[in-house]
Amino acid sequence: MKIIRTVADIREYVRCCKSEGKSIGLVPTMGALHEGHASLIEAARKENDVVIVSVFVNPTQFGPTEDFDAYPRQLDADAQRAEQAGADVIFAPTPKEMYPSVDMTWVEVTGDITKVLCGRSRPIHFRGVTTVVAKLFHLAQPNRAYFGLKDAQQTEVLRRMVTDLFFDVELRIMPIIREADGLAKSSRNVYLSPAERTAALILSKTLREAKEKFVGGLHDAAALVDFVRTNISSEPLADIDYVEIYQLPGLLPVKSSLKGKYLLAVAVRFGTTRLIDNVILED
Ligand code: AMP
């Protein structure tokens, strides 16, 4: 498997693939790859001639007090895991390669879709995500790009960007991969102390129970949010950032009674680690 570090080299590689008529699947990641990432790479392997995995801890999507410096970086282990899952190439540029100038172009989806949920506590986050993903789409020219439902708001924001900027890319959204005990896999789980790791199980457990209540006929949005808040608050180590429900697609506000497809999403701090999780509710 090839590791490509520069814009010039990825362009050359992609030009070559295109001239041979090969389809390209792109899996954008920030590295510290786990089974969640592997599931995206495996899906890309099945559906494309060539699979490019980008590994780039994108500075523009981190706020000034966030964990950019501490974010785990382990390119050798990532290369092994990506290769096992079926990647042909890892594209691992430096920040300077992706952002060559202090003066720069942003790609920003405006409106409530980037202001609710994670957008409220991370106001510059999605502008960073859309900017880097737009750059990656231009470089890799993928036929399909793979993202996880774990970052459900991100997928909605990227769908908006792809539609508005006429990117000729099919977005493939893959289910959340979880640990055996239910915790959603995340590169940030390594930050958790053993006690926080145990406490964090309240998220998947509560979301699962909320879904059972919805399926059992509880369609009152406020009651569902209240149930999730109360349950998560019962865990002393959990500090809630948000518990919210939005309509899918588009993250529009909900009416009091739920009829359709919804995202029930939470962000909760355990110590200094902020975890997100969600469940889709569909009647
Ligand atoms: P990240 O490296 O955290 O930026 O994630 C890269 C991609 O992997 C994003 O599309 C995530 O949604 C996806 N991803 C992260 N964790 C999981 C998971 N547990 N299950 C499925 N996809 C995931």
Identify the pLDDT of residue 205. 98
pLDDT score of 120? 97
Predicted confidence at residue 20, as pLDDT, reads 98
pLDDT at site 46: 98
> Of the candidates 92, 19, 7, which has an alpha carbon nearest to the alpha carbon of residue 50?
19
Which protein residues are within 6 Å of ligand 1, measured from CB?
A: 29-30, 36-37, 39-40, 147-148, 150-151, 174, 176-177, 184-187
Q: Counting Cβ atoms within 10 Å, is residue 79 exposed (0-12), middle (13-18) or buried (19+)?
A: buried
Supply the pLDDT for residue 174.
Answer: 98
Q: Consecutive sets of 10 residues in the chain, 283 residues long: mean pLDDT of each?
A: 97 98 98 98 98 98 96 98 98 98 97 98 97 99 98 98 98 98 97 98 98 97 98 98 98 92 98 98 93
Question: Rounded distance, CA 103 to CA 161, Å?
Answer: 22
Laid out side by side, the sheet with 2-4 consists of 2-4, 89-91, 50-55, 24-29, 144-148, 170-174
Separation of CA 234 and ligand 1 centre (Å): 28
Answer whether 39's CB lies under 8 Å from 174's CB: yes
pLDDT at 279 (0 to 100): 98
Active site residues: 37
**Phi/psi at 89 (5° precision):** -145, 140
pTM for this prediction:
0.98
Q: Whose CA is nearest to atom 5 of ligand 1?
A: 29
The pLDDT, as a whole number, for residue 283 is 85
Bridge partners of 268, per DSSP, are: 240, 275
CA of 104 to the centre of ligand 1 (A): 27
The atom number, within ligand 1, closest to the CA of 177 reads 20
Under DSSP, the state recorded for 101 is -
Q: How far, in Å, is the centroid of ligand 1 from the Cα of 41?
A: 11
Pocket perturbation via mutation, ligand 1, pick of 26, 27, 37, 118 by most ligand atoms within 8 A of CB? 37
Question: What is the predicted pLDDT for the residue at 256?
Answer: 85
